[in-house]
Structure 1
Amino acid sequence: MNIVIDSLYKTFGSTTALENINLQFQGGEFVTVLGSSGCGKTTLLHLLAGLTTPSRGAVYIDGEVKSRPGADRVVVFQQAGLYPWLNVRDNIEFGLELQGMPREQRRRESSEILRIIGLEGFARHKPYELSGGMQQRVAIARALVMKPKVLLMDEPFGALDAQTRASMQSFLTSLWEKLQCTIVFITHDVDEAIFLGTRLVVLSARPGRVALDVPIELERPRTPETTFEPRFLELKKQAMGILAH
């Protein structure tokens, strides 16, 4: 799987949100996109998802232009967005049901993803009976059960407290290591971006341009001690320098 973002511009009226974005991602990468508020990082995610169209340029996946939403790309937002009247299993199966998948097959798929995310015992719980972190696990499971080529994540841990956020970062890292899916993860948190990703993209202030695009060469599994490694601190210094301007 190959994603190419070619000379992408996006304007809203007289405001240019993104300017001349050129990136290429390979299958299985965990790309973290870092930037300050208003730099266009969420706009970039929406362009990748097909939720908005570029003013100029294009997004290609495996050589095909993508300008509309599709099942090959699924988005996880900051709020879990679960349906409160459905239990955990039915929330996870919702997209599969819309696709017309038979009930027995849906149950197999949801049971497997519940096992992977460690919530087998909560299949019949309603969202309000879960913690914030557990709700986000279900939202991620609902996305992954669709088997997308790309999982797009828009600051999915931004509304969580610090302890839950750290736990979810470890959970997502472990999940990605098991599944090796392609992830594009938007964040404004420098430590989070470096801790999670295999690759770091930093956008400049608006209009957003690619100011830094580097591999994150840190060993896995990553632990809290990773944040004290020289390479981590070097990347953090580079990113902070860009964000300060």
Structure 2
Amino acid sequence: MDVESQKSARPRGRCLDVFLVGSIVLLFLTVATVVVMGTLALVELRSEIGVKPSVVDMQGTSETHHGVPRSMPAYKMQNLAYLQLTSAKLENSTMSWSQVEHGLESSVGDLYKHNLHQHTLQTKQGGFYFLYLDLQLTCTAKCGRGILVVQIASHGDEKLTCQVELPEWSVSNPVTTVTRKCWRVTRLDSQSRLMGRMVVQEAQDTFWKLDVNGSGMGVFLVG
């Protein structure tokens, strides 16, 4: 056995390990940066148009406040879109969205087209997008247990799925608000049409309702 070749192979193996670890760390930092940029951009958009962003603690309670509208740079506005839910009812159905208007400003940028009647949001430019769902539900009485699944798809291709477990209200567990945030960086083309579908599993006859002011879908072009 060639001892010299074994000695020379070991440093190369260590270099390869360092390279792989460095690549994984770089990939993680890149994804983290995209997530932070997308979240900050959507939070800023909601603040600009007066939508109430929610601050949620680990117990599921929430605190809301109004943003102060001010002019938004055009280059940011065209890359962003935010739609609010129009119905609070939980049922197996296609979800209906509406854009938010504040004066002359709209929550849908120039790179998007919202079709109110078809319940779709079309992207006009291909690229990687930060897709975001914010779901807030309120218990209006003695609510039963259930599971809510919201899926965003384009031409039948699933882009983002968000599942919310709804607890049963009781004296020992008097939960009144449940909030769930889901996100994903995904590839969309210039003809993608995002559509939301709601599926209510287990108990459908509950007193859980969606908060239309605190629930919506956001999209942000990242590259």
The TM-score with structure 2 as length reference comes to 0.24
Structure with bigger helix share is 1
Larger radius of gyration between Structure 1 and Structure 2: 2
